[in-house]
Amino acid sequence: MASSTSPASAPAAVLCALLALAAALGARAGPLSPAYYEESCPHVYDTVRRVIQEARVGDPRIPASLIRLHFHDCFVNGCDGSLLLDDAGAMQSEKNALPNRGSARGFEVVDGIKAALESACPGVVSCADILALAAEISVELSGGPNWNVFLGRRDGMTANFDGANNLPAPTDDLDLLRQKFSDFNLDDTDFVALQGAHTIGRAQCRLFHDRLYNFSGSMQPDQTMDLAYLSELRQSCPASDSESTALSNLDPPTPDAFDNSYYGNILCNRGLLQSDQGMLSAPGGAAAPTAPIVGRFAASQADFFQSFATAMVKMGNIAPLTGSMGEIRRNCRVVNWG
Ligand code: HEM
Ligand SMILES: *[C@@H]1O[C@H](CO)[C@@H](O)[C@H](O)[C@H]1NC(C)=O
């Protein structure tokens, strides 16, 4: 008996060891997979890409706006598409929270992507995955790196208005911002790399007005800001209107190209938001702990691209809903019926 079981159990033991290894590796990579829709919606990538290509013809800012949506989704309740839900009954939309209201944009493009996917493969692709794919494609279309997008997230059934109000703010100090990222296991390299998304897109005057005229209630501009840049910004962002929605480019040298010039700006004290410049210099002139990473990315676009891609995959892995959790929304703005 013993001799007849042992030849069979030897390969079984090897098989079990392999399965355990695969499970361990799988657990480390998370439950998401780049091949998730290979059978169920083989053209998902091309479909998302086509809709974004069409949208950005009329609005070159769209790629930037879409990247930001993925960030604001993942940092609130995980990457579950909760940001996309509109107000409904007792549910308060995240879209109306302070960091998003009058600011987060691109929702119509997400609707367009969802509609195209519902006609190609109904009920299959989640809104949360659409945001992850749209972010990668937007970076790539803007000249940035590409990476394998992990897929298989499902959509949440609730919005978290208070959570959205706690998103990183441009007026948060460096330590608070680092804390908000490390809460999601994103280290300083991830933190500095992810803010490099500000290499494209725009920001409204009201979000940096204090830096130009009345920094920390001092009635003086932010002393860290380059003077020529200060006077440039004042031309489109007037003292008289601290609520102005006039736009400035986050990366003036190459406003719509995904490159590393954002970090070069910061080295020249030409970061637009307090949170951008704060990665280099702490108030009082002390060097910030993140300063060496800013220098490294300014010196090497390849380093920045690699770290950005790694950090985007990590951010996309924040608390996804998988298995039987959540649902696949049919319309990204509302939870399904029943
Ligand atoms: C320290 C953390 C961050 C802060 C405080 C911050 C803050 C801001 C602010 C205030 C704006 C301007 C919004 C407006 O004027 O309406 C903005 C725009 C933008 N943010 Fe961030 N952000 C942060 C991190 C990130 C991350 C991690 C990403 C993506 C990976 C990102 C992507 C963008 C993009 C692409 C835009 C331009 C959007 C557009 O033109 O529509 N940001 N951010
Ligand atoms: C300057 O900022 C302080 C504090 O933020 C505020 O109380 C004050 O009203 C501001 N002054 C002007 C002229 O905007």
Whether residue 120 is found in the same domain as residue 209: no
Instruction: Answer yes or no: is 333 within a domain.
Output: no
Q: Quick one: which of 85, 164, 184, 88 has its CA closest to 128?
A: 85
User: Does the pLDDT at position 157 exceed 50?
Assistant: yes
Among 83, 149, 174, 198, the mutation site with the greatest number of ligand 1 atoms within 8 A of its Cβ is: 198
Instruction: Answer yes or no: is 23 within a domain.
Output: no
Instruction: Answer yes or no: is 306 within a domain.
Output: yes
Cα of 212 vs centre of ligand 2, distance in Å, is: 12
Q: Dump pLDDT digits (tens) for 261-272.
A: 999 999 999 999
Q: What is the pLDDT of residue 283?
A: 66
213 Cα nearest atom in ligand 2 = 14
Q: What is the pLDDT of residue 18?
A: 42
Cα of 256 vs centre of ligand 1, distance in Å, is: 14
Instruction: Answer yes or no: is 335 within a domain.
Output: no
Please indicate if the annotation marks 5 as binding a ligand.
Answer: no
Q: What are the angstrom distances between the C-alpha of 87 and each of 82, 90, 96, 338?
A: 11, 8, 9, 18
Q: Could you confirm whether 43 is annotated as catalytic? A: no
Q: Tell me whether residue 326 is exposed, middle or buried, using C-beta atoms within 10 angstroms of its C-beta: 0 to 12, 13 to 18, 19 or more.
A: buried
Residue 30: pLDDT band with limits 50, 70, 90: low
> Which structural domain, as residue segments, surrounds residue 241?
174-313
- The two structure tokens encoding residue 41: 């919606």
Q: Is the CB of 166 under 6 A from ligand 1?
A: no
% residues pLDDT > 90 (the chain): 88
Q: What is the CATH number of the domain that holds 196?
A: 1.10.420.10
**pTM exceeding 0.75:** yes
Whether residue 210 is found in the same domain as residue 301: yes
Contact at 8 Å (CB) between 310 and 186?
no
Rounded Cα distance between 271 and 37, Å, is: 40
Domain count, the chain: 2
Q: What is the pLDDT of residue 22?
A: 43
Instruction: Answer yes or no: is 12 within a domain.
Output: no
Q: Dump pLDDT digits (tens) for 52-105.
A: 999 999 999 999 999 999 999 999 999 999 999 999 999 999 999 999 999 999
Q: Dump pLDDT digits (tens) for 264-296.
A: 999 999 999 999 999 998 766 778 999 999 999
How far, rounded to the nearest angstrom, does the alpha carbon of residue 146 sit from its chain's CA centroid?
14
Ligand 1: which residue has its CA nearest to atom 36?
201
Q: What is the CATH number of the domain that holds 42?
A: 1.10.520.10
Which residues have CB under 6 Å of ligand 2?
214, 217
Q: Tell me whether residue 139 is exposed, middle or buried, using C-beta atoms within 10 angstroms of its C-beta: 0 to 12, 13 to 18, 19 or more.
A: buried
Q: Given the residues 43, 70, 72, 209, select the one marked as catalytic.
A: 72
Cα of 308 vs centre of ligand 2, distance in Å, is: 37
| Ligand nearest to C-alpha 239 | 2
Ligand 1: which residue has its CA nearest to atom 27?
194
Residue at which a domain ends, from 135, 167, 199: 167
Q: Dump pLDDT digits (tens) for 183-217.
A: 999 999 999 999 999 999 999 999 999 999 999 99
Lowest mean pLDDT among 1-10, 33-42, 220-229, 247-256: 1-10
Ligand 2: which residue has its CA nearest to atom 8?
217
Amino acid at 190: D
273 Cα nearest atom in ligand 1 = 10
How does the average pLDDT of the chain come out, rounded? 92
Residue at which a domain ends, from 111, 141, 167: 167
Cα of 214 vs centre of ligand 2, distance in Å, is: 6
Residue 337: pLDDT band with limits 50, 70, 90: confident
Residue burial 198-212, b: 16+ Cβ < 10 Å; e: rest? bbbbbbbbbbbbbbb
Cα of 40 vs centre of ligand 1, distance in Å, is: 33
Rounded Cα distance between 31 and 258, Å, is: 29
Whether residue 139 is found in the same domain as residue 188: no
Residue 142: pLDDT band with limits 50, 70, 90: very high
Q: What is the pLDDT of residue 43?
A: 97
